[in-house]
A = this chain, B = another copy of it.
Amino acid sequence: MTQDQLVKEIKRKQSFLCIGLDVDLNKIPEHLLKEDDPIFAFNKAIIDATHHLCVAYKPNTAFYEAYGIKGWQALEKTINYLNENYPEIFTIADAKRGDIGNTSTMYAKAFFEDLAFDSVTVAPYMGKDSVEPFLAFENKHTILLALTSNQGAFDFQTKKVENQELYKQVLETSKTWAHAENLMYVVGATKAEYLAEIRQIIPDSFLLVPGVGAQGGNLQDVCKYGMNDSVGLLINSSRGIIYASNEHNFALAAAKKAAELQQEMKVILG
């Protein structure tokens, strides 16, 4: 999917919501555990109930890997189900990968070819040659960790590197890499006031923003400081939506939560 197509979908749906599919078998409704593949059954129900309210889904690979081969199968079924039934949806493998050149190419193949995701999250610590192999894929997007939403972001990301915080160095430096037009960035909502300065460095890039809701971030503030002419934001919510209920009506409850956020977004876009 191209960035233009994503912007078009955002305007059509009046939503820039991304739903995180972080499936924990201890948290899903008990009746699903009887299914052959409870993880996929859960995802399918959530997707069918919410696809018109969001523009992206983001499975975090950790939650699938923790269940071994069955988890990986559920991830594959989920991305295939999305691509077959809702090809207009932007898909994000939240994998936070990154390795030396030839190894990053293998990761890129894993998420862009074997699993046909539109994008993957990548960690910047290993620098240019660890990220460029992802950027080389046409119409695929690499979402680089810049400023994350957790407390540990203050350990290194906000430390001054040659008079500029490390996350800003990551933004500046990555702009010079080959195919930088395929870059997006993770910027946590818990630091909304940082977004104004971030927008000075990367005015046009899409930002994937976790941390609205459960982690305390505020949607209005994020939009105030982070929105650009093409919207340029994907606001992620995971637990707040998918675990709205663990009863039989869980998908409906998730849709209700997603609709609340979508309505807020509609007002902001209007």
Contacts and interface: CB of A to CB of B under 8 A. Distances in A.
Nearest to A72: B72
Contact of A156 (B24, B66, B104, B161): B161
- Taking the full assembly, how many copies of this chain does it contain? 2
A152 interface: yes
B103 A129 contact: no
A256 interface: no
B66 A106 contact: yes
Given A68-B114, A126-B153, A128-B151, A97 B100 contact: no
B157 A125 contact: yes
A240 to B, nearest CB: 14
A130 B150 contact: yes
A136 to B, nearest CB: 15
Nearest to A60: B103
A71 B125 CA distance: 26
23 contacts: A60-B99, A60-B106, A65-B114, A68-B115, A96-B98, A100-B148, A100-B149, A101-B150, A123-B126, A124-B125, A126-B145, A126-B148, A126-B153, A127-B150, A127-B155, A127-B156, A128-B155, A156-B166, A156-B173, A159-B166, A160-B161, A160-B162, A166-B166
